[in-house]
Amino acid sequence: MAVPMHRCTGPCPVCAGQLDFNQWFSTAAAYQQDAVLTLAETTDSSNNNLFQFNNAAFWPLDGQLLGASSPGAHNRYFTMEVCTSLRRK
């Protein structure tokens, strides 16, 4: 599976640099913790070939993992990697 690569050659507008970027996709416990989620997709009402996940209350990691230190606050500091497969019937 491919992992995103850092492409900035000068000051980076997205992160503090190569080392900071690499931490997002690291498996080192000091930087990352994993969670497996199941998302229920639905087909779009106007296009049966389009699948979507739409949930305004989607805070899947509240109270979990590294951002769980503030009770009642949303854990919004995560990177999500989505892997999926489709079966044609």
pLDDT tens digits for 20-67?
887 777 777 777 778 888 888 888 888 888 888 888 888 888 888 776
pTM assigned to the model: 0.49
> Sign of torsion, CA 34 69 67 52?
positive
Give the separation between CA 15 and CA 26, rounded to whole angstroms: 15
| C-beta contacts of 17-20 below 8 A and 24+ residues apart | none
Assess whether pLDDT exceeds 80 at residue 83: no
Assess whether pLDDT exceeds 70 at residue 69: no
Question: What are the residue boundaries of the structural domains of the chain, listed by start?
Answer: 33-89
Average pLDDT over residues 70-83: 74
